[in-house]
Chains A and B, each alone.
Chain A
Amino acid sequence: MSTTLIAIGAGIAVLAAVGAGIGIGIATGKAMEAIARQPEAESKISKNLILGCALAEATAIYGFVIALLIIIML
């Protein structure tokens, strides 16, 4: 019984990944628009995009760390 609950808890913690997915999706979409408008600025845009994605990804990573802690600690 308790292992089931731990598994459910870890699963809920990983739901944080939803936000990161939406965020990175929006960021990439906007970057595509920007590149379509100004193809010559591509290198600058993609550099900032990668950085932004890495920062947005962090929220998903926090969820993952919490899930891992739930599994290991309990």
Chain B
Amino acid sequence: MTEELMEKLEVKTVFTIPLFGGIRVTESVVVTWIVMAALILFAIIMTRGLKTRGISKRQAFLEWMVTKLDGMVGGMVGGKAKVFSEYLITVLLFIGLANIVGIFGLKSPTKDMSVTIALALMSIVLVEASGIIFLGFKRAMHKFIEPTPVVLPINILEVVTKPLSLCMRLFGNVVGAFVIMALLEICVPIGIPMVFSLYFDFFDGLLQAYVFVFLTGLYLTEAVE
């Protein structure tokens, strides 16, 4: 049973690009491409032939969706950080779809730690860079010794712990759900896994995407104020 589980958890190499001594392209990268292609295709199909009068059902649905997403993410980032809401919606859609892609028979790319590390690095680089761009280098650096210089080590440590917790939270949740689902499927093959899949794949996957975006938004708001 342990071997079976370990084999499922392992990230396999799909093919190798014969360049610079062979670049390994793993399963998670390929699934990431599929997720990206699905999102881009969806966006292209939905935004074709938009009108201002006499809108179609498709456009009404699109407008409803954009309004909902904008309202959801717009509530997380306040003040000057509003410009990042489009980025956050994109990340939300990407992580959300990447988490629930497991029900289509593909392996979730967020099950691979390198994917979540990349996402967390994107967040922290954006947070620190936006602090410098919005406030200027001096002001952004001064934030490290606010309110007193005593907190300097804690603030420096936070630059590391913020992305670490973002990355580990997403990775741990997806792997945890995956392990529990795999164990259930070994014990009870029919029926019960479907009910649990509803919670673990759908609810938990979307919730974690929401939490990731919420925390990034919180850090962004804090960085540009």
What residues of chain A have their CB less than 8 Å away from a CB belonging to chain B?
50-51, 54-55, 57-58, 61-62, 64-65, 68, 72
Q: Mark B7-19, 1 if CB is under 8 A from A, else 0.
A: 0010000000000
Number of interface residues of B (CB under 8 A): 16
Contact of A61 among B6, B172, B210 (CB under 8 A): B172
Contact of B176 among A50, A54, A64, A72 (CB under 8 A): A64
Least distance between B202 CB and chain A CB atoms (Å): 14
**Per DSSP, are chain A's interface residues mostly helix, strand or loop, or mixed?**
helix
Chain B 170-209 residues near chain A, CB threshold 8 A: 171-173, 175-176, 179, 207-208
- Inter-chain CA distance A68–B176, complex, in Å, is 9
Report whether B168 and A68 are in contact in the complex, using a CB–CB cutoff of 8 Å: no
Report whether A65 and B171 are in contact in the complex, using a CB–CB cutoff of 8 Å: yes
- Give the 5 A-B CB pairs with smallest separation, nearest first: A61-B172, A65-B172, A54-B211, A58-B169, A64-B176
- Inter-chain CA distance A62–B207, complex, in Å, is 17
- Inter-chain CA distance A64–B176, complex, in Å, is 7
Least distance between A74 CB and chain B CB atoms (Å): 13
25 A-B residue contacts at CB 8 Å?
A: A50-B207, A51-B211, A51-B214, A54-B207, A54-B210, A54-B211, A55-B211, A57-B173, A58-B165, A58-B168, A58-B169, A58-B172, A61-B168, A61-B169, A61-B176, A62-B168, A62-B172, A64-B175, A65-B168, A65-B171, A65-B172, A65-B175, A68-B175, A72-B6, A72-B9
Residues in A with CB closer than 8 Å to B176 are: 61, 64
What residues of chain B have their CB less than 8 Å away from a CB belonging to chain A?
6, 9, 165, 168-169, 171-173, 175-176, 179, 207-208, 210-211, 214
Least distance between A12 CB and chain B CB atoms (Å): 17
Chain A, residue nearest B176 (CB): A64
Least distance between A23 CB and chain B CB atoms (Å): 15
Report whether B173 and A61 are in contact in the complex, using a CB–CB cutoff of 8 Å: yes
Residues in A with CB closer than 8 Å to B207 are: 50, 54
- Inter-chain CA distance A25–B5, complex, in Å, is 31
Chain A, residue nearest B203 (CB): A50
Residues in B with CB closer than 8 Å to A65 are: 168, 171-172, 175
- Inter-chain CA distance A2–B77, complex, in Å, is 50
Residues in B with CB closer than 8 Å to A62 are: 168, 172
Residues in B with CB closer than 8 Å to A50 are: 207
